[in-house]
Chain A
Amino acid sequence: MSKYSVINTHVHNVDGIAKVTGRATYTFDVKLPGMLYGKILRSPHPHAKIVNIDSSKALELPGVIGVVTGKDTLGIKQGIWRRYQDLCDEQILPVDKVRYIGEPVAAVAALSEEIAEQAIDLIEVQYEVLPAVYEPMEAIKKEAPEIHQGFERNINVTRHIEWGDVEEAFEEADYIREDWFKCGGQAHMCMETRAAVSSYTPDGKLTVYHSTQAPYYMQGLLAGVLGLKEGNIRVISHYVGGGFGGKFELDGAIFCSAVLSMKLFRPVKIVFTREEDFIATKRRTPMFYYVRTGVKKDGTFCAREAKVFTNGGAYTGMGATALYLTGFFHSFPYRWKGYRYDGYRVYTNTLPSSAMRGFGAPQAMFCSEQQIEWIAADLGLDSLEMRRKNAHYTGYEVPDQATVGSCGINQCFDTVKDWTKKKGKLPGNRAIGFSAAGFMSGGIFNWFDAPYAFSSAVVTINNDGTVELHVGAQDIGQGSNTTLAIICAETLGVKVEDIKVHSGDTDHCPADLGAWGSRQTLMAGNAVKMAAEDAKRQLLEFAYAQSGSNIVYDLDIKNRWVHAIARPERGYDYAELVKKATRGKDGQRIVGRGYYTPHRKGMISPAYSYMLQAVEVEVDKETGRIKLVDSLTAHDCGQPINHLGLIGQLEGAFSMAAGYGYLEYMPYEDGKLMNPNLVDYKVIRATEMPEVPVAEIETYEPEGPYGAKEAGEGLTNPTAAAIGNAIFHAFGVQMKECPIRPEMVVNALKEKEAMGEKGG
């Protein structure tokens, strides 16, 4: 019997009724009285000085209420890495120059979308076109144009991670291999494009409806860039149509609508078209990876050295974090005697790259897990056993970096081996590829310089026993409202139906860093657990007073039943206790408070999830077409909390990770995205998805609420590598670029044949 009443049971998503009946209102749906519609004029040039903007013709168009440009702003360079002023480099509505095709240059507010669109075409901008550069290896050359002042060779950020004596470790190696890889970008492609409705009123208060992952970050960033007090800004984000890492920074929709509203004192709504979403919202970071790995002939890992150049695009965004995490997770989940990573994020005149689900780890694993497979093949070793031999374990200390609290990777190997064995011999054009991975459960490094606890929660118990749970954690579809309601219900001893979750409103909810970096289950979960324990303790004070039992007897509440733990059959209804407690507190509701900030857990993450994935792939040898046939993922997320939510997150992560592996090609030509639409940008559909069974490996993470850690982002990491490894096992070709497109497979096979013929 499960020791939990609610945790890991089959619970309906608490937002279910709203979502399946069409009642859920997204920012996309918001309509306010007197609302205007905004549209953004975008730069056609990748790099140019803004000489002059003439909006007079646009202002003459009937129905146009106002136009703003960078001159209507405070010109503040903002960025989400607030702690480092030099990385705050983006004005959003630039004053002096544009740095990528699609960058906002002006914004119009009008009575209708149609009029706003017409007005955009009437704004005349004089540019002085500057030379532009699009690739990091070009941008670091001495003669490359300078994109931001003060950044020599356009190097935006560098990161260095090192432990052990790397040269000595290489000396110990019997076999060394080096490879170059190219990892593509990827678009978040949230079903709800970027959207914001801003309303500034004469009392100096700004209310913003925003499709965002982090209302508190929006509040803080807007305050900084608009010259307002945080407390005079309200950000509302009840239902969000997907985020995936793309919606926790200021975007053109929220910024331009706010600037317009502050000028016009009317609500202004800006919704990006799908095309705008593709060309003007930050993307996954494209990376060039050089990896050199040394192992002993028995497969023991000795040394690894990685040099990475990332295409940062025009602004920093969250790129500094991606640069770090890619280098850190490139070592996962293995022990290295010597490890060195040097990352260089380079400015270019392309769409800025930032954070996307996996945060640099999918790229890291694409390179690491494939090279490991090739090394095993070179040495004639079983690649799974080689991985197992070098894997992390509970308590392992990544030297100078992190301590692994709980680690279930070892149990993953046997599960995957059994599954593979049962498959037996596969037909010639099918093969299975493996990839291991690990990921963080929230980051510790407070680059936002948030003064508040990373997560907070307030539990308020009404007289009838229903519970108001206020959290700052944001539900963007990953189910955090439900997960936190489950934790609250389990801790307090009630049912999920008793909990009403309040989130997505900075006026009423405590601050929280938001939904990114896989942090909410662990961090907000801990805050909720603490708040619920606080509330329960206050309730039980009254129960103890009433029971007058011997001091050795403890009381508890479970399934709405107040009872002595030693004598669970004797008790009474929780609702009765609530009434007594409320009266006892002079009519005040019981309020419990909780919060969580990781302390003394290193500088990366308080906990790590682990996984091992096997993907069965069928490749048409003649056309190179890739078909996903089957898969199995062995996964350690500690204690699962939200059963339905977990399965959904894991299956969904697979679909996005597979897209990165073989579908979501994002080609640029001279700084212009060539496929900014859903016809030419390929997103996986129902007919292409295989079954995605997951084998849960049970571990207990001491730092997480009830032993839980992240799920849903880590699983975006292994699939591209697994697909590549499957192709390697099917045909012996090494795919060093992702997404792996059929033409690349055909070319690789042709090359292999040609070399074979030469070798003779």
Chain B
Amino acid sequence: MEKRLLKLKVNGQEYELYITPKTLLVEVIRDHIGLTGTKRGCETVSCGACTVMIDDMAVKSCSILAVQAEGRHITTVEGLERNGRLAPIQKAFLDHGSYQCGFCTPGMLISCEALLKENPTPTKEEIREGIEGNICRCTGYNSIVRAVEAVAKGDYREEGT
């Protein structure tokens, strides 16, 4: 299959890639760019382990052709921290033990981040609906909900903001 040039912006960084058009966005992120934080856990767009943000929207990168993401701004879990400083949602996850095996965590963090970007003060119900597309087999979700509530409450607001 013929390859083509693809320019992708991931976590603020421009990448030039040479890929076949059938390459999935998650494959480009993991295998071509080498950001392995984003995972895969199914073949049916069910589990959410592959969740990334495209222009602040949470999407499942396993069911998007990489070529469709050209010109858009992609954020993966690696893009949440800034110069080693964790994002509020990451700090909240640490404080509330909102992960165990950690495999669903990158996708889960992105879903939580996208949810808070759109709705900075979600209700408990809205949080549960916001992560409905992400399966976690370890935590039972409640510690994740607590972490998002803590961020929404302002527990991680930076000093001076």
Contact = CB atoms under 8 A, between A and B. Distances in A.
A275 B40 CA distance: 13
Nearest to B20: A114
Interface string A265-283: 0000000011100000000
Contacts of B104: 191
A686 B36 contact: no
B44 A678 contact: yes
Contacts of A685: 132, 135, 141
Interface in B26-40: 30, 35-40
A89 to B, nearest CB: 29
A117 to B, nearest CB: 12
A367 B137 CA distance: 25
Contacts, number: 165
Interface string A166-209: 00000000000000000000000111110000000000000000
Contacts of B47: 191, 274, 678
Contact of B94 (A20, A241, A645, A692): A20
A656 interface: yes
Interface stretch (B66-74, B95-103, B149-157): B95-103
A28 B39 contact: yes
A78 B70 CA distance: 51
Given A12-B94, A679-B46, A23 B137 contact: no
Centre residue among B76, B104, B105, B131 by max chain A CB count within 10 A:
B105
B42 A19 contact: no
Interface in B77-103: 77-78, 80-81, 86, 90, 93-97, 99-103
Contacts of B49: 191
A242 B43 contact: no
Given A19-B105, A476-B101, A686 B46 contact: no
Category for how many chain B residues contact A: 35 or more
B42 A22 contact: no
Contact of A190 (B86, B94, B101, B141): B101
Contacts of B100: 477-479, 645, 648-649, 652
A21 B41 contact: no
A18 B80 CA distance: 13
B137 A273 contact: no
Given A13-B97, A239-B102, A645-B97, A192 B41 contact: yes
Interface string A646-680: 01110111111000000000000000000001110
Given A22-B106, A687-B132, A692 B140 contact: yes
A644 B96 contact: yes
A647 B97 contact: yes
B47 to A, nearest CB: 6
B17 interface: no
A128 interface: no
B103 A22 contact: no
Contact of A686 (B41, B43, B145): B145
Interface string B86-129: 10001001111101111111100100000000000000000111
A108 to B, nearest CB: 19
A57 B93 CA distance: 51
B136 interface: yes
Contacts of A189: 137
B140 A192 contact: no
Nearest to A13: B97
Given A647-B97, A686-B144, A687-B128, A21 B138 contact: no
Contacts of A653: 140
Nearest to A690: B142
B63 interface: no
22 contacts: A15-B102, A20-B94, A21-B90, A22-B76, A22-B106, A24-B102, A25-B36, A191-B136, A239-B101, A241-B102, A242-B103, A477-B102, A652-B137, A652-B140, A654-B140, A678-B42, A678-B46, A686-B128, A686-B141, A686-B144, A687-B129, A689-B141
Given A28-B103, A193-B41, 17 more contacts: A15-B102, A20-B86, A21-B80, A22-B77, A191-B49, A191-B135, A240-B101, A241-B103, A242-B137, A244-B137, A476-B101, A478-B100, A655-B137, A678-B46, A685-B132, A686-B141, A689-B141
